[in-house]
Structure 1
Amino acid sequence: MEAHTPAADAAAPFVTRLTVDSPERMQDLGRRLAALLRPGDLVMLSGALGAGKTTLTRGLGEGLGVRGAVTSPTFVIARVHPPLGDGPALVHVDAYRLGGGLDEMEDLDLDVSLPDSVIVVEWGDGKVEDLSQDRLRVLIERAVGATDDERRVVTVSGMGTRWRHEPLADLGG
């Protein structure tokens, strides 16, 4: 695992890279990441179809202790998973079929949900950045030269002051 944390620039990302070798470990990474999340957090997931975005989100849901099975919201665009206890709800959005920026997503009322929820947006690059200066971007890529189809390189970038002191490097478990 490689970890990098830039110095003083509050806008610069705080980055860690991990190698994940199975769907079970991707889900476990989601559970570990959930331990760092709190209401108001925005998580943007990027990666090719089948990379593991929904698997990671399933782990986030388990770690946050939310109700309902976390499945891909591709056809419904967004699903809200209420908390089973005192934690935040999980709002899981799939922006793949949405073409525009935040204006096109306005009907989802993500800005209203954000203060009390953790919002996870698959395919959100270029569409939801205006929701918060403080956000996580998770890029999931197939490992170059991997002999198995399940190995992924996951890059977690914390943007803004919210993520300055969070132990992203500890996500490697």
Structure 2
Amino acid sequence: MADESNEVSGSLTGAGAGAGAGAEGGVAALVMSNLDRKITDDFSQYTVRKDLVSEVKGNALVPSYVLEYLLSKYATTTDQESINAGVKRVRDILADNYVHREEANLIQSKIREKGRYQVIDKVQVALNEKLDRYEATFENLGISRVVVDSITVDKNPKLLVTGIWCMCTLVYAYSGDRDEVVTFSWTP
């Protein structure tokens, strides 16, 4: 006869969810095995609860690996309160920084009015041979000719090929010419 005290548990790959929802509108608690708990405690920077990706995605058309990156920074722990706080933080980051195409003009205005603004968008870079510099195009933000330094391109060669999703801070620097926005810092 099987031991009825065994619990069905999910895994870090999101195979199953726990029995109940977290406190005060939080995410569902995941019943973790001792091995999952040890891995999460010892290697928190390398583990992601895949079940949380759908919890935070909402209507953002952002790739899962971007959400996984954010979750690995803010919601990798075995403590349910910390997980709920981390998921809230990721949702807030997406709400504040992810660029929806229909809100591109609003975000461009925020960059101008605030002087700098952090965005999450897909960025592709090309060499402008006439001006001998690299220039970025932001897919959802709808801006191009954003000057990018050579060091950033050297460290991230995929910018020149397929482009990458990244969180970057844009700085407004109007100088009377068409290059009004320049990149400041990147987190690919």
Q: Does TM-score exceed 0.5, indicating one fold?
A: no
Greater Rg over alpha carbons, structure: 2
Of Structure 1 and Structure 2, the greater strand share is in 1
Task: Name the one with the larger helix percent.
Answer: 2
Higher relative contact order (CA 8 A, sep 6+): 1
Question: TM-score, with normalisation over the residues of structure 2?
Answer: 0.24
TM-score (norm 1): 0.26
